[in-house]
Copies of this chain bind each other. A is one copy, B any other.
Amino acid sequence: MNYFSSDFKLGILGGGQLGKMILAETRKFDIQTYVLDSSDEAPSRFGSHAFYKGSLMDFDTVYQFGKMVNLLTIEIENVNLDALDKLEAEGLPVFPSPKTLRMIQNKGKQKDFYVENNIPTSPHQRFVDLSDLKKSIEKDELDFPFVWKCAQFGYDGNGVKIVRSAIDLINLPDVECIAEQMVPFKNELAVIVARSVSGEIKTYPVVEMEFHPEANQVEYVICPARIDDKVAQKATDIALQVSQAFNHVGLLAVEMFQTANDEILVNEVAPRPHNSGHYSIEASYTSQFENHLRAILNLPLGNTASKVAGIMVNLVGEEGFSGQVVYENIEKIMAIEGVTPHIYGKRETRPFRKMGHVTIVNEDMTEARKIAEEVKNSIRVISII
C-alpha cells in the first residue's frame, strides 16, 4: 500500500491533544488525514486535510465520516461502536477494532476479561447502578474502603473515587460501576505495547508514574522507571500477556501497580497513544505516536528504546483560574537545557484541565529528575486577570 503523498486517507476519531500529536507524524509521512471532533476549538483542528465537527457518539456522524476514509483509528475510546461495527463489516479497516474498544470502554467488562485471561488484577465487583452497590454494602458483600469507578466514560481522575465510609457514597453518581479492592502499592507503572496489523510486537521501556495527590492526575512520568530489573521484566511480560489477550492493532498502554511485595497487578489499559508515553517524542528513537501510525498502517515498527532519560510533567490548569490561558514562567523553563514544552492549543484554562506537558531529557536521570522538579515549581497555567 502506498500511503506517502498518495490518495490514501486516514480517519481519526477525536481531535484532542493525542490526535494533534498523531497528526504531527502523519505530516512527516505526508498521509492524508480526516479528523472528527465535537468541538471546533479542538487541538487537532489544524494540521489535517479535513476537520469535521460532529458527535463521536452519534451513529450517523461516525458512520458517514468512516465512509470517507480508507482506514479509521481513534484517539479516544468513547466513540459510537455500532457505527464502527457496521463500517468494519462493510470492509473498512478499523484499528483498534470495535471488539477491542467494546472490551475496554466498559471497565467492568475489562476487569472480567483480565480474570478470564489469568491476568493479575485487583479483586473487583460489578454493579449495574448505585443502588445495586449500596445493596451489596448492606448485605456485607462489599467492605470499606474500596475504589469506586464508573464503568464508562471516566477519564483522568473523573469517575474514580476512594470510598472509605458510607459518607463517601453520598456524592457518587447513579451509574454502572465497579468496586475494586484497595491495593497498597509502591509504584504505579506503565508499559506501552505496539502491535502491527501483521502481528509485529514491540514494547516501550517500563515507566514510573507519580500522581498529584489531590487531582488524581499524573504529575511526573519517568522513563525508565527506577525499579529493579526483575520487576521491570515482570511488568513487561504481563503487558505482553495483556496485549496478546486483546489481540489489538495499534498501541496498548498497560497501567499497572507494583505492590508492596513486588507483585504486578494490571490496573487498566488504553488502546491508543497515552499520557505515559509523551516522553517518547523527545527521548525515544521512535515516538509512541509514530509507532501507533506504523502499527495501524502495517509498516515495520520503529525502535522503542530511549536515546536519553526522559521525564514528563503534565501542565494542568491551576486551581482558582478560569479563562484565557497564560503559561507563567514558560520562558524561564525554556532556558533550561533539555526542556521542551508542548502546548495543546486550548485557549481556556480551567482547574486541573490538561493544557499541555513538558518533557525533560538528559543523559543523566538524577539530573533530569532535578530539572523536572524545577520545571514543576516554576511554570503555572493561569488565566489573564
Contacts and interface: CB of A to CB of B under 8 A. Distances in A.
Interface of A: 2, 4-5, 20, 24, 27-30, 43, 46-49, 285-286, 290, 294, 299-300, 302-303, 307-308, 325-327, 330-331, 334-335, 337-347, 361, 363
A342 to B, nearest CB: 5
A81 B214 CA distance: 56
Contacts of A334: 294, 299-300, 302
Contacts of A43: 30
15 contacts: A2-B326, A4-B341, A5-B327, A5-B345, A24-B24, A28-B340, A30-B343, A285-B337, A285-B361, A290-B340, A294-B334, A302-B337, A303-B338, A307-B307, A307-B308
A24 B177 CA distance: 41
Contacts of A363: 307
Contacts of A29: 341, 343
Given A4-B327, A5-B325, A330-B4, A285 B345 contact: no
A30 B300 contact: no
Contact of A340 (B30, B286, B341, B343): B286
Residue with the highest number of chain B CB atoms closer than 10 Å, among A5, A47, A341:
A5
Nearest to A307: B307
A334 B25 CA distance: 14
A383 to B, nearest CB: 11
A interface SS class: loop
Nearest to A336: B300
A46 B338 CA distance: 28
Contact of A300 (B47, B286, B331, B347): B331
Given A27-B345, A285-B361, 7 more contacts: A2-B326, A4-B330, A20-B27, A24-B24, A29-B341, A30-B344, A30-B345
A36 B275 CA distance: 35
A363 B303 CA distance: 13
Contacts of A331: 299-300
A15 to B, nearest CB: 13
Nearest to A348: B5
Given A285-B337, A302-B340, A341-B29, A347 B5 contact: yes
Contacts of A299: 331, 334
Nearest to A32: B46
Nearest to A29: B343
Contact of A27 (B24, B294, B302, B335): B24
Nearest to A26: B46
A299 B29 CA distance: 29
Nearest to A48: B46
A346 B47 CA distance: 16
A279 B307 CA distance: 15
A30 B43 CA distance: 9
A344 B27 CA distance: 8
A347 B5 CA distance: 6
A46 B342 CA distance: 19
Nearest to A27: B47
B4 A343 contact: yes
Nearest to A335: B300
Contacts of A47: 27, 46-47
